[in-house]
Amino acid sequence: MNLSLDTLSIVLAGLLGAVVSGNNLSACCGTIIGSGMVNRRSGIIIAVAGYLLGLSIEGPKLFKVREAFLPTETSTEIFLILLATLLIFVGGELTKVPLSLSKALTGTILGVSFAIGALQETSYLVLILIFWVSAPIVATALGVIFVALDDRYSPRNLWVKLSLLKAGLVVMAFLSAYVTGSNALGLISGVPYKQPQPQIS
């Protein structure tokens, strides 16, 4: 164990978590704050609550990604994964290109795993790639369907419609933050996480 590298890795993981949380804050609750549904403080509280609950409840399930592709990582490998991911994410921010941290982090894990010859979970990799390709297509289709359903079945009473939209947007803001906590933050936390080794009596 390299304590200095482990410490730097924890710092990088925290920095990545802060960057992702801040970057997604506007996406999660910018609408409800900008429209005046809630004030800035309440919007941030909703987002933070979603982040923390998502990370604590669903986040540990994302540890499987690192454990599957890199079951015996070293301190150097942990540091390189987090550093490369941060550089990629910063590059995306500087060039104003939409970038998924989950994909960048998974890609760096795969790269390190391939470099050291530890890449064996090809079936899990195929499953991830299928979801990466299909998710934007399915999301686009759902967007079209939901707009059509809204046009057809939306309440004609304007005040009822606005009330439903307000409640729905607040719920979706929380759920968006929850997904960010469980997905991105859970994946980040899983990189430096080391499973306790069973003691041999």
Domain ranges of the chain: 3-190
Whether the per-residue pLDDT at 151 is higher than 90: the answer is no
Average the pLDDT over each of 26-40, 109-123, 151-165 and give the range with the smallest value: 151-165
| Angle, CA of 14, 96 and 184, to the nearest 5° | 35
Mean pLDDT, to the nearest integer, of 148-174? 79
pLDDT at 201: 43
Average the pLDDT over each of 18-22, 33-37, 155-159 and give the range with the smallest value: 155-159
Q: In sequence order, which residues have a C-beta less than 8 Å from that of residue 43 and are 6 or more positions away?
A: 29, 30, 32, 33, 173
CB atoms within 10 A of CB 76: 12
pLDDT at 35: 79
pLDDT at 194: 64
Q: pLDDT: is 113 or 72 the higher one?
A: 113
CA neighbor of 21 nearest in space, from 101, 107, 108: 101
Query: φ, ψ for residue 47 (rounded to 5)?
Result: -65, -45
pTM, two decimals, is 0.77
CA neighbor of 107 nearest in space, from 74, 84, 75: 84
Average the pLDDT over each of 25-29, 86-90, 163-167 and give the range with the smallest value: 163-167
Whether the per-residue pLDDT at 197 is higher than 50: the answer is no
Measure the CA–CA gap between 155 and 133, rounded to whole angstroms.
35
Q: In sequence order, which residues have a C-beta less than 8 Å from that of residue 73 and are 6 or more positions away?
A: 66, 81, 112
Secondary structure letter of residue 61 according to DSSP = G
Mean pLDDT, to the nearest integer, of 42-70? 87
CA neighbor of 186 nearest in space, from 38, 50, 6, 84: 50
